[in-house]
């Protein structure tokens, strides 16, 4: 089975933790990442200075951060469908960590 491959072409920071992400098929998504900033990999991005250091990986064509966090470009592209499920996963990651702790208990 073949799945479309999407590439992030550009992004714009429009407010804290919120980006407009533009793709190679000319679509774009407005994504509020705040609800996903949980767990060991994503919770460091609550630091707005780190979050704002987002870049496009030139090989994977997706958003990446200096701490190694990234998102599959297909997930970003299909955010209206995938976003709610990702938020639910992140809530589960929060239950694995204590207050202020970004590592599993």
Q: Is residue 29 part of a domain?
A: yes
CATH number of residue 68's parent domain: 3.30.2020
Neighbours of 45 (CB within 10 A): 22
User: What is the C-alpha separation between 25 and 29, in angstroms, rounded?
Assistant: 12
Domain containing 54 equals 8-95
Place of tokens 């793709």: 23
Q: Is residue 14 part of a domain?
A: yes
Tokens encoding 75: 């997930």
Q: Is residue 103 part of a domain?
A: no
- CA angle 91/28/20 to nearest 5° reads 60
Q: Is residue 101 part of a domain?
A: no
User: Considering the entire predicted model, what is its pTM?
Assistant: 0.81
Q: Is residue 3 part of a domain?
A: no
Q: Is residue 100 part of a domain?
A: no
- Per-residue pLDDT for 39 more than 60? yes
Q: How many domains does the chain have?
A: 1
Q: What is the pLDDT of residue 84?
A: 78
Q: What is the pLDDT of residue 54?
A: 98
Q: Is residue 2 part of a domain?
A: no
Neighbours of 26 (CB within 10 A): 7
Q: Is residue 49 part of a domain?
A: yes
């Amino acid at each position: 089975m073949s799945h479309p491959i999407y590439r992030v072409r550009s992004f714009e920071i429009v407010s804290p933790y919120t980006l407009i992400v533009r793709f190679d098929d000319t679509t774009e998504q407005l994504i509020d990442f705040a609800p996903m900033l949980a767990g060991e990999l994503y919770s460091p991005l609550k630091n707005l200075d780190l979050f704002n250091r987002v870049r496009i990986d030139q090989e994977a064509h997706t958003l990446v951060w200096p701490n190694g966090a990234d998102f599959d470009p297909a997930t970003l592209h299909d955010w209206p469908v995938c976003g709610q499920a990702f938020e639910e996963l992140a809530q589960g990651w929060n239950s694995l960590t204590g207050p202020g702790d970004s590592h599993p208990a």
